[in-house]
């Protein structure tokens, strides 16, 4: 599990959708949200970042933290 920092848009709910995320010192702007789905206590976002890679990031609602689930560099 890789903990990440996420800047998110908060509209009708907190952390409604991610805008960018960072791992260490590197920040990645999100160009497109490809898909999203909701679990019992987590929100998942499949995104394409400015580096051209696809990521799945997860927001843990009750604990208020994000992690990286998957990265596809192709």
Q: What is the pLDDT of residues 6-56, one digit of tens each?
A: 999 998 888 899 999 999 899 999 999 999 999 999 999 999 999 999 999
At 11, phi and psi to the nearest 5? Answer: -105, -105
The per-residue pLDDT for 73 is 87
Both tokens assigned to 41: 């206590």
Distance of CA 40 to the CA centre of its chain: 17
**How many whole angstroms separate alpha carbon 59 and alpha carbon 25?**
20
């Amino acid at each position: 599990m890789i903990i990440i920092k996420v800047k998110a848009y908060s509209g009708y709910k907190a952390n409604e959708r991610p805008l960018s995320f960072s791992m260490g010192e590197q920040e990645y702007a999100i160009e497109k949200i490809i898909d999203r789905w909701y679990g019992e206590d987590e929100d998942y976002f499949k995104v394409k970042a400015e580096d051209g890679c696809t990521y799945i990031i997860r927001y843990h609602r009750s604990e208020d933290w994000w992690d990286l689930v998957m990265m596809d560099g192709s």
